Structure 1
């Protein structure tokens, strides 16, 4: 059960990595879309989170997911939003994805059989990072709206 939960979280992280990678590419093409200085650290943290979850899954004897599954479509939606609706819509979509990821982490913490090492990783590193990303995107949205 816990390997399944960790793989779900891993898929969220892989989707986030794909999405932020696309956003960064878009920023390089069109500087008016955003500031890579704020987006790059979030991208890097999602890469680290994915690697941490892969390690946890392997330690538990499982096989880590290699793709983002259905969540991969989130990257396409964000990309489309950036193309059609502009910076504000793309930032809002990123923030919604971060909120969804935070909810998934909180849900995982409710599982009584979650291994202590995984619980600690989520509580001390992964969930606080998600919450920080939400706040960063909120600030960027405030600036975009001003």
Structure 2
């Protein structure tokens, strides 16, 4: 078992991505007008928020400070902010799907971690990330 600090750092990395996803979906929802698409995006955003909540509680239970800010999706958020205005819903969905790709890679990277806490969390959350990834991939296919 790794030190609580090392374990918390890895989980905070996932948390950072989940927070960034929630923020990015929020920005996308400000630009998307189609009610059916909005409903799907709200559902995916809630899934990310739920995962962020679990990760926050887990890190805090280790006596460590959960991260507060988003991370890698920041670049995607900037594209959403400007791109959705110029390129429309298809481009925004494409960018969101790229973010889901990144999130999926982050979870898979930790899938074989030797720490039982990390292994347990990833085992629980990876299927949920796969589900949100599949939803966005499907939405992207329907729009393109």
Which bin holds the TM-score, normalised by the shorter protein?
0.7 to 0.9
Q: How many residues align?
A: 139
Using the alignment, how far apart are the partners of 1:123 and 1:70 within structure 2? 22
Unpaired runs of at least 5, structure 1: none
Runs of 4+ in 1 over 3 A off after TM superposition: none
Matched, 1:140 2:142: no
Residue 24 of structure 2 is matched in structure 1 by 19
| Aligned twin of 1:87 | 89
Q: Which runs of 5+ in 2 are unaligned?
A: 1-5
1:70 positional shift: 5.1
Question: Which deviations, in whole Å up to 9, do the C-alpha atoms of 1:90-143 show, x marking residues without a partner?
Answer: 11111111111111111122321x2x344223212x211111112111221122
Shift of 1:69: 3.9
Q: TM-score, normalised by structure 1?
A: 0.85
Q: TM-score, normalised by structure 2?
A: 0.87
CA distance in structure 1 between the aligned counterparts of 2:143 and 2:123, rounded to whole angstroms: 31
- Structure 1 contact 11–65 (Cα < 8 Å) conserved: yes
SS in structure 2 of the partner of residue 109 of structure 1:
coil
Q: Distance in 1 between matches of 2:137 and 2:47?
A: 17
Asked if structure 1 preserves the Cα contact closer than 8 Å seen for 2:101 and 2:133, the reply is yes
Shift of 1:72: 2.6
Q: How well do the aligned residues superpose, as a CA RMSD in angstroms?
A: 1.8
